[in-house]
Amino acid sequence: MDKLKVSLVSLGCPKNLVDSEVMLGHLPLDRYEIVLDESQADIIIVNTCAFINDAKEESVDTILEVSDYKEQGHCKLLVVAGCLPQRYQGVLKDQLPEVDLFIGTSEGPRIVELIEQQLQNQTPAEKVGSPDYLYDHQTPRVNSSPTYSSYVKIAEGCSNHCSYCIIPQLRGKLRSRSIGSVVAETETLAAQGVTEIILIAQDITDYGADRNDGATLEKLLKELVKIDKLVWIRLLYAYPDGVTDELIELIATEEKICNYLDLPLQHIDDHLLTRMNRHLDEGQTRELVQKLRNRIPDLTLRTSFIVGFPGETNEQFNKLLKFVEEGHFERVGVFRYSREEGTVAAKLPDQIPARTKTSRLNKLMKAQARVSFNKNRALVGCTEQVLVEGFSDETDLLLKGRSARQAPDIDGQYLITSGIADVGEYVQLQITDSSEYDLIGEIVEH
């Protein structure tokens, strides 16, 4: 019997990407073949995001787009997985009749069973259980990232209950893996040639808080740095109130831990932070940022802010704008507040008009663009270690790469104008020029 060809479209964040890789890992290779071209696929899986309105719209648009392959391609079965079915269970079958099977955030490991059931049953089905799954080092997984880099999800779910956030309802409460499990997975990846590990969770600083074995992020890092073949360990999504002095010291002193921290702050005004159910005020935030800068002078700080949160006044926004203009951050992401049903903030009065949110977002991004340009310009003349990732997307005449300052896909890149190196190789690069987000340089040694 011919193998069934499966194509998977993964939307949303890297945490979702890991879920997609786990789903693919459960497909037995003697019966299924993974293909990249949806037009050639017998089965198309769309792993969705439903965090905010923009993500929901992207998910629905993608579902409708790939559904055309049921008429124009080979598709026999369209599966929609992840956060959208988890959030809107019982509703989507009527709204998206093109879809044959909806599965929730914890049903990925059952993907083969559910697919085979559905191939025998022509009636659209929905399988959405409690969000309680947690993969481990023994879980089969197909790494879709480049061979030299991989995400490792150290925990699932979240227990922070920020007032604007739907994640606890989609992903459940915090569930941390054991230190031994994370180390075992990382050792396997390193043995396969992975040299950059990116630790992810909704809040990596909360890692271990739900366990009774003393696991903490700091203890985990002390074990991971012992893995010989690793070059970089990168930390994403560290809530500011969980950044300890011990963590700061580890980043400062351990060569393998990138001097890079994604520190979502969301705002700087105390009244709004309280309404968001965030746990640091302005004074504590400034103290933390200064502590990080003093101990790790070359730290790259990424943060995110929400504009247009209910009740945000012009004065409060201007306070945030001034904070950004002070130049504390190398990277800033800005989100328009999205009113999500089922959250505390959705019921708050004084909702902000969409036009005002967009205007504030644009002002904040322009301010950060000036900061980023100046920070990049200050690096010209320096030499940095860069991971070569292949040819530039714009021309085969240039190589591209990333330094420890840059996470994949979100932080810009280096364009390499002189020198030759292989993909996955680390080189020393002298920076010769810069723009708002990218840097340009020449290889000076391997």
Residue 367's alpha-carbon distances to 318, 325, 363, 379, 380, in angstroms, are 11, 6, 6, 19, 21
Q: In which region does residue 226 sit, left (phi positive, over 0), alpha (psi from -120 to 50) or beta (all else)?
A: alpha
Domain spans in the chain, listed from the N-terminal domain onward: 4-127, 149-377, 383-445
Mean pLDDT of the chain: 94
Residues 84, 62: Cα–Cα separation, whole Å: 12
Determine whether the annotation assigns residue 158 to a binding site.
yes
The domain covering 383-445 belongs, at the CATH homologous superfamily level, to Nucleic acid-binding proteins (2.40.50.140)
pLDDT tens profile 353-376: 999 999 999 999 999 999 999 999
Alpha helices (runs of H) in 90-178, residue ranges in sequence order: 92-95, 111-119, 167-171
258 has binding-site annotation: no
pLDDT in tens, 295-321: 999 999 999 999 999 999 999 999 999
Q: What's the pLDDT at 271? A: 97
* 286 pLDDT above the threshold of 90: yes
Residue 13 annotated as binding site: yes
Q: Which residues contact 5 (CB under 8 A, 6 or more apart)?
A: 32, 33, 34, 35, 40, 41, 42, 43, 74
Q: Answer yes or no: are the C-beta atoms of 401 and 387 closer than 8 Å.
A: yes
Q: What is the mean pLDDT of residues 187-211?
A: 96
CB 227 within 8 A of CB 190: yes
CATH number for the domain formed by residue range(s) 149-377: 3.80.30.20
Q: Residue 237: pLDDT above 80?
A: yes
pLDDT exceeds cutoff 70 at 94: yes
Q: Is 308 left (phi over 0), alpha (psi -120 to 50) or beta?
A: left
165 is in an annotated binding site: yes
Q: How far is CA 156 from CA 59, 199, 206, in A?
A: 21, 12, 11
Tokens of 196: 């950059």
Q: What is the pLDDT of residue 52?
A: 84
Average pLDDT over residues 271-295: 97
Residue 446 scores a pLDDT above 70: no
Reported pTM: 0.93
**Separation between Cα atoms, residue 347 and residue 183, nearest integer Å:** 43
| 126/80 Cα distance (integer angstroms) | 9
**Residue 119 DSSP SS3:** helix
Among 72-76, 170-174, 196-200, name the one with the lowest average pLDDT.
Answer: 72-76
Beta bridge mates, 81? 47, 103
What is the β-pairing status of strands 399-403 and 383-391?
antiparallel
Is the fold of 4-127 the same as that of 149-377? no
Nearest alpha carbon to residue 73 among 115, 36, 42? 42
Residues in a beta bridge with 216: none
Q: State mean pLDDT over 94-113.
A: 93
Per-residue pLDDT tens over the stretch 41-77: 999 999 999 888 888 999 999 999 999 999 888 899 9
Partner residues linked to 44 by β-bridges: 7, 78
Q: Report the candidate in 172, 232, 239 with the shortest Cα–Cα distance to residue 387.
A: 232
Res 124: pLDDT: 83
Q: How far apart are CA 248 and CA 343, in angstroms?
A: 33
Q: Three-state DSSP class for 398?
A: coil
Q: Is 427 helix (H, G, I), strand (E, B) or coil?
A: strand
Backbone angles phi, psi at 216, to 5 degrees: -140, 165
Out of 105-114, 128-137, 387-396, 425-434, pick the least confident: 387-396
Question: Which residues, at least 6 apart from 342, have a Cβ–Cβ distance to it below 8 Å?
Answer: 166, 169
Distance from CA of residue 158 to its chain's centroid? 15
Angle subtended at Cα 353 by Cα 169 and Cα 85, rounded to the nearest 5 degrees: 25
Q: Is 412 exposed, middle or buried (0-12, 13-18, 19+ CB in 10 A)?
A: buried
Rounded to the nearest angstrom, the gap between the alpha carbon of residue 446 and the centroid of all alpha carbons in its chain is: 30
- The Cα–Cα gap between 422 and 415 comes to 14
135 pLDDT higher than 80: yes
Task: Identify the pLDDT of residue 1.
Answer: 62
| Cα–Cα dist 131/172, whole Å | 5
Say if residue 394's pLDDT is above 90: no
> Does the pLDDT value for residue 111 go beyond 70?
yes
Which CATH architecture does the domain made up of 4-127 adopt?
A: 3-Layer(aba) Sandwich (3.40)
Q: Which residue has the tokens 């040694």?
A: 445
pLDDT band at 274 (very low <50, low <70, confident <90, very high): very high
pLDDT tens, position by position, 329-352: 999 999 999 999 999 999 999 999
For helices 314-325 and 354-377, angle between their N-to-C axes, nearest 10 degrees: 10
Tell me if residue 381 falls in helix, strand or coil.
coil
